Chain A
Amino acid sequence: MTWGSYGSTREAFEAIVNRHMKDAYFIALGLVGNREDALELSQEAFYRAYKHFDQLNAPEKFFPWFYQILRNLCFSHLRKRKVRRAYAVGAEDSGSGSGEPGSAAMMAGQEAAMAAMPDTFDPEMVAQRNEAKDRLWQAIGQLDEKHREVIVLRHFRNLSYDEMARVLFCNRGTVTSRLYYARKRLKDILNRESGCPTAECSDREPRKGGQK
Chain B
Amino acid sequence: MTCQDYKDSMMAYLDNELSDEQLRAFEAHLASCPKCTEELEEFRKLKQITDDVELVEPENRLWQQYWGGVYNRIERGIGWVVFSVAGILLLIYGGFTAIENVITDPGISALLKVGLLALLVGLAILFVSVVRERIFFWSKDRYKDVRR
Q: Which A residues are closer than 8 A to B by beta carbons?
A: 10, 14, 17-18, 21-22, 25-26, 29-30, 35, 39, 43-44, 46-47, 50-52, 55-57, 61, 65, 68, 124-128, 132-133, 136-137, 151, 154-156, 160-161, 173, 176-177, 179-180, 183, 186-187, 190, 197-199, 202-203, 207-208, 210-212
In the complex, the answer to whether B70 meets A43 with C-beta atoms within 8 Å is yes
Residues of the B chain whose Cβ atoms lie less than 8 Å from the Cβ of A210: 51-52, 54
In the complex, the answer to whether B55 meets A133 with C-beta atoms within 8 Å is no
Instruction: Check A136/B11 contact, CB under 8 A, given A47-B74, A47-B77, A57-B148.
Output: no
8 A Cβ contacts from B1-57 to A: 7-12, 15, 17, 41-43, 45-57
In the complex, the answer to whether A202 meets B45 with C-beta atoms within 8 Å is yes
Q: Which B residues are closer than 8 A to A by beta carbons?
A: 7-12, 15, 17, 41-43, 45-58, 62-63, 66-67, 69-71, 73-74, 77, 147-148
In the complex, the answer to whether B53 meets A137 with C-beta atoms within 8 Å is yes
- Select B50's contact among A18, A26, A136, beta carbons within 8 Å: A136
Beyond A46-B70, A52-B147, list 5 extra A-B contacts (CB 8 Å). A17-B66, A25-B62, A47-B73, A50-B74, A187-B43
In the complex, the answer to whether A65 meets B148 with C-beta atoms within 8 Å is yes
Residues of the B chain whose Cβ atoms lie less than 8 Å from the Cβ of A55: 148
Instruction: Check A39/B62 contact, CB under 8 A, given A55-B148, A202-B45.
Output: yes
Residues of the B chain whose Cβ atoms lie less than 8 Å from the Cβ of A176: 8-9, 11-12, 17
Residues of the B chain whose Cβ atoms lie less than 8 Å from the Cβ of A51: 77
Residues of the B chain whose Cβ atoms lie less than 8 Å from the Cβ of A61: 148
Residues of the A chain whose Cβ atoms lie less than 8 Å from the Cβ of B52: 132-133, 207-208, 210, 212
A-B residue pair count with CB separations less than 8 angstroms: 123
Those 10 A-B pairs whose CB atoms lie nearest each other, nearest first: A176-B8, A47-B73, A127-B54, A202-B45, A46-B70, A179-B11, A43-B69, A210-B52, A21-B66, A176-B11
In the complex, the answer to whether B46 meets A202 with C-beta atoms within 8 Å is yes
Interface of A is mostly: helix
Instruction: Check A177/B148 contact, CB under 8 A, given A126-B54, A211-B54.
Output: no
Residues of the B chain whose Cβ atoms lie less than 8 Å from the Cβ of A68: 147
In the complex, the answer to whether A202 meets B41 with C-beta atoms within 8 Å is no
A-B contact pairs, 30 of them (CB 8 A): A18-B67, A21-B63, A25-B58, A35-B58, A43-B69, A43-B70, A47-B73, A52-B147, A61-B148, A65-B148, A68-B147, A124-B56, A126-B56, A127-B55, A127-B57, A133-B53, A151-B50, A154-B15, A160-B17, A161-B15, A176-B8, A176-B17, A180-B7, A180-B8, A187-B42, A198-B42, A199-B41, A199-B42, A202-B45, A202-B48
Residue in A173, A198, A210, A211 with the greatest tally of chain B CB atoms within 10 Å: A198
Q: Which A residue's beta carbon lies closest to that of B145?
A: A55
